[in-house]
Amino acid sequence: MTLELNRFQAVEVHRQQATADSSACVPLAQLVPNGGTYGYDLMAHVGCETFLQGRQLQSIAHEFPQIPFSSLYDAQRKFLFYFGHLHRQSASVLSEWFLRHGGSTWLIDATLETGTPMYFGIYEAQDNLLLDAHCRKESA
């Protein structure tokens, strides 16, 4: 399931020789993670709506009644995983950028409610950059 294509069933076919229409095909890996069920665009939508817009996951669930709430929860966590991975890959570029631009103001926030995952974020206020975000389940 993706936002753009809605629900679809994919079958990957690997041919030895390219056909005339093979350039029109979008590889499935660009839409949905390997072995996944939900597309990157859905993960990004859920993550941006909850972490950047401050919406509750229950509110987003009303937009997608065909998706189980637990799957939306998983999409939210995968958003943080991919977001963190992207930032770690970009750490050297970000470091150089901060050195060129001088000082900065970082806002650090963490939330923890009993029985819910903890969210920890680092936000650079002057240039509107989310530098890092982590989520982990509360220890019992």
In the chain, where are the structural domains located?
1-9+25-89, 90-140
Whole-number pLDDT of residue 52: 79
pLDDT averaged per 10 residues, the chain (length 140): 68 63 59 78 90 87 91 90 83 82 78 68 77 60
CB 15 within 8 A of CB 47: no
Q: Compute φ and ψ for 99, nearest 5 degrees.
A: -65, -40
Task: Please give the model's pTM, rounded to 2 decimal places.
Answer: 0.58
Cα–Cα distance between 92 and 71 in angstroms, integer?
Answer: 33
Tell me the C-alpha to C-alpha distance, in Å, between residue 23 and each of 4, 19, 27, 30.
Answer: 20, 8, 10, 14
SS3 per residue for 123-138? EECCCCEEEEEEEECC
Q: Which residues contact 81 (CB under 8 A, 6 or more apart)?
A: none
Question: Residue 96: what pLDDT?
Answer: 85
Both tokens assigned to 105: 């103001």
pLDDT given at position 54: 82
